[in-house]
Each structure stands twice: as C-alpha cells, then as structure tokens.
Structure 1
C-alpha cells in the first residue's frame, strides 16, 4: 500500500476533511512530490473549489511537467469554469504525455462541442466511444456532434444505441425528434417528443417541440 492510499480512501468514502488533513500532511512531508498536489487537486475538484484546484495542479506541473494526470486535472478544473481554450490545451497535453484514455478523449471532445466547434469535436468523441463502448454519456454526446455536423443517419443510429443502453434516456428521444423534424417526418417527431415527455414531463425542449408541431398541424387543417 502506497503512502497516499489512506487519503484517497478517505476521499472515496466521503470523509473530505480527513482526506484534506492527510493530503496536507503528505505535502508538508514531501513538498517536492507532485503526486500529493495532484491528489489534493482532485479533492478540491470534487469539492467544486476549482480555482484552488488549479493552483495545486499547476504546482504539480511545476514539479513535473510530464505529469499527465496533473494536466488532466487542470483540463477538468478549467472546463468546470467554462474556460474551454485553456481546458483544451491541458487535455491535449495529457494525451501527448500518454494519458490516452476514453475520459481524456471525451473531455477534449466536450470542450470543442461546448465551444460549438462541432467538426473538431467529432474525432475525439468518436475515439472515446471506441475506447469505452458502454458509456451512455459518451455515446450520447457523440450523437449530438454527429447531428450538429448534419450526419443525421449516423446520429440516429447512435441515439438508438443510447436507448438500447438506457431505455429512459429522454434527451435521446428529444434529439431523435429534432432529427425527424429535419427529415420532415412530423408524425415521427411528435412521437419522439411525446416519448421524451412521458419519461421527463418537465422536459422543456420536448414540450416546446410538441407545441410547435401541434400548432403547425392546427394551422394546416
């Protein structure tokens, strides 16, 4: 068992004060070990203290500029603050340093997706899905990127895969409804919006879509 295991166990068990105390003592004992700063950064990220998390991850990078997990942590901390350009840089650095995992590709893809750079998001989200085919959120976000780049047939296929994995995924039904509207299949779109609302009655976008279709059908009568 490594020295950091107890602190990580405290954090995973929700004992955040104990974890913070343990990590602080570890940093005091070994101030030049980047691992301790990374673990404290992870704790702060878990506590939504993003600005302080950045400071700890940055200190880890100062001590070891090849610390891929520190760059990954910085990417997450900046992402949560909607600073997508900085987030991208650190996720890309994490990849270059060998952290070629599904989560890294996924988060980098999300940065581009949220920054409305849909074509740039696609290859990263596709790679994330290839590495972790069972992750519903990765599949769904990949479907969104496909839809945003007007690859509607492929997007539909992905949204249906999402529903096979999670039958009550209201957003997948909603987006299938949007795709159906683009394809001018009004009846199918209405069916999908209704299915989204059955699962999540407060789904505002599905409700708006349904209302627009019903108004359109009334006007055409």
Structure 2
C-alpha cells in the first residue's frame, strides 16, 4: 500500500493528522503526482478549508486534466457554495473523464434540481438511482423530480421504491399523499398522510394536507 492509499485509509478512520503527514510526504517524494494533490484536496474539503482545497484540486488538474476525482472534488466545493453552474460543469467533466459513479450522477442531478431545472435533473437522478438502488436520497429526489414534472404515476412508483429501502421515510408518505390528492383519490391521500404522521407526529405538511382533504371530502 503506497502513501496515497495509506492516507485514504487514515482519512476513512478519522485520523486526518496522520493522513496529512502521509500526503505531504507523497507530494515531496513525487511532486508531479496528481493523486496526492487530489487526496489532499479531499482532506482539506473535509475540514471546511475550501479555498485551500480548491488550490490542491486545481494543481492536480494542472498536472493532469483527466484527473476525474479532482473535478468531482471541485464540484462538491462549488455545490456547497451554492454555485450550481460551476458545480454542474465540474461534475460533467468528472463524468466525461470516466468517473461514472452513482454519487457523481446524484450530485449533478441535485445541482440541476437546486436550480429548478427539473428536466435536466431527471436523467442524472434516474441514473444515480439505477447505479445505487439502496441510496435513499437519490431515490427520493428522483421521485420528487418526477412529481415536479407532473409525471404522477411514475412518481408514485418511485416514492414506493424509497419506502422499500426505508419503510419509515415520512416525507415519501407525505408526497404519496399529495400524489393521491392530485389524482383525486382523497381516502388514499389521507391514508398516506396518516402513515407519515405515525412516523413523524409533528410533520406539519402532512397535518395540513390531511386537513385540506378532509374538508374537501365533507363538501
């Protein structure tokens, strides 16, 4: 195991000081190695030293523009800074350089989602959910995006997929309630709101949704 691999292991185990020491040594021994700069960027990002992290990611990219993990690291920093356009560019570059992983697709789709561009968010979130069908966040935001695009029947299926992975996902029950209300299935909507409230009794949106449907059913 080389120093880069050892450093990643130390980071995973939470010993950032040991990881930093190993990465410093790796860079001193091989200052042309983009991997060491990328790993140091990840370490700095983990401790919220984002400006310094960007410098290390940019150094890695200057040494080798095809360092996909450095582009992904840059994307995460831009995302955290709410600069979604730059994040999208970085994630797309990471994908183009071969880092076609569920997390990259998720962050790309979620960046579009944050911009309100649902039609562009959809394929990336769908791909993320396909690559990692156990990722509750990817499944949930894929379902929400379908709902935002008024693809209601597909959204219902997707929220049900979330609940297969996490049967206590109150927000999915709430959104199923909204979907059934949209489909004018009031009793079914109330059933879903009740399930959300059984999991999270202070789920305000479910209380409101249930009350509105009950008032409609009385009329």
1:105-137 Cα offsets, whole Å, 9 max, x none, are 111111111111001111111222222223222
Match of 2:155 in 1: 155
Over 4 Å off, 4+ runs: none
Asked if residue 42 in structure 1 is aligned to residue 42 in structure 2, the reply is yes
Shift of 1:172: 0.9
Q: 1:20 to 1:111 in 2, by over 3 A?
A: same
Asked if residue 59 in structure 1 is aligned to residue 59 in structure 2, the reply is yes
Asked if the contact 1:50/1:81 (under 8 Å) is kept, the reply is no
Match of 1:201 in 2: 201
**Structure 2: how far apart are the matches of 1:202 and 1:32?**
55
Q: How many residues align?
A: 219
Q: Mean alpha-carbon deviation: is it higher for 177-186 or for 69-78?
A: 177-186
Match of 2:185 in 1: 185
Shift of 1:60: 1.0
Shift of 1:205: 2.6
- The SS at the match of 1:66 is coil
- The SS at the match of 1:48 is coil
1:25-56 Cα offsets, whole Å, 9 max, x none, are 32233322111111011112222333332222
Asked if the contact 2:181/2:213 (under 8 Å) is kept, the reply is no
Normalised by the size of structure 2, how large is the TM-score?
A: 0.91
Q: 1:145 to 1:37 in 2, by over 3 A?
A: same
Normalised by the size of structure 1, how large is the TM-score?
A: 0.90
**Structure 2: how far apart are the matches of 1:204 and 1:13?**
39
**Structure 2: how far apart are the matches of 1:54 and 1:184?**
50
Match of 2:135 in 1: 135
- The SS at the match of 1:146 is helix
**Structure 2: how far apart are the matches of 1:86 and 1:72?**
11
Asked if the contact 2:74/2:90 (under 8 Å) is kept, the reply is yes
**Structure 1: how far apart are the matches of 2:209 and 2:25?**
55
Matches within 5 A, 1:25-174: 25-174=25-174
Give the unaligned 5+ runs of structure 1: none
Asked if the contact 1:105/1:128 (under 8 Å) is kept, the reply is yes
**Structure 2: how far apart are the matches of 1:123 and 1:47?**
32
**Structure 1: how far apart are the matches of 2:212 and 2:43?**
46
Shift of 1:211: 4.1
